[in-house]
Amino acid sequence: MFTLPSLWNLIISTIVFFVAAWYLRRALDEHGIPKGMTRAISVFVLASLVSWGAGGLVDWTQERIEGHPPTTQSLGDLSQLLKAAEAPQP
């Protein structure tokens, strides 16, 4: 299940990807660059980078609003917990 910050990241970065791809295609059309595999890959890569940046900005903003997420247990704590769970009960 998605947590709220990752859900916002997914929604906004997806929208930004399609908007960026549309603008990039439009700009390349205006410059008269012919359609082809290189152009399609360039649009995909550039739109992906813009989308990734927008997702990072969403995560940064969410962290600034809500603060740092709670820390998780370290691996040492987890191994101690597993040892305690495996100990025979009298």
Report pLDDT for 89.
60
Find the Cα–Cα–Cα–Cα dihedral 72, 55, 64, 62, rounded to 10°: -70
Span 59-82, pLDDT tens digits: 888 888 877 766 665 556 667 767
For the beta carbon of residue 58, count every other beta carbon within 10 angstroms: 19
Count the domains in the chain.
1
Domain that holds residue 55: 4-86
More confident residue, 3 or 83: 83
Span 1-58, pLDDT tens digits: 445 557 888 999 999 999 999 999 999 999 999 999 999 999 999 999 999 999 999 8
5: amino acid identity, one letter: P
DSSP string, 17-85: HHHHHHHHHHHHHHTTPPPSHHHHHHHHHHHHHHHHHHHHHHHHHHHHHH-SPPPPPPHHHHHHHHHHH
pTM equals 0.68
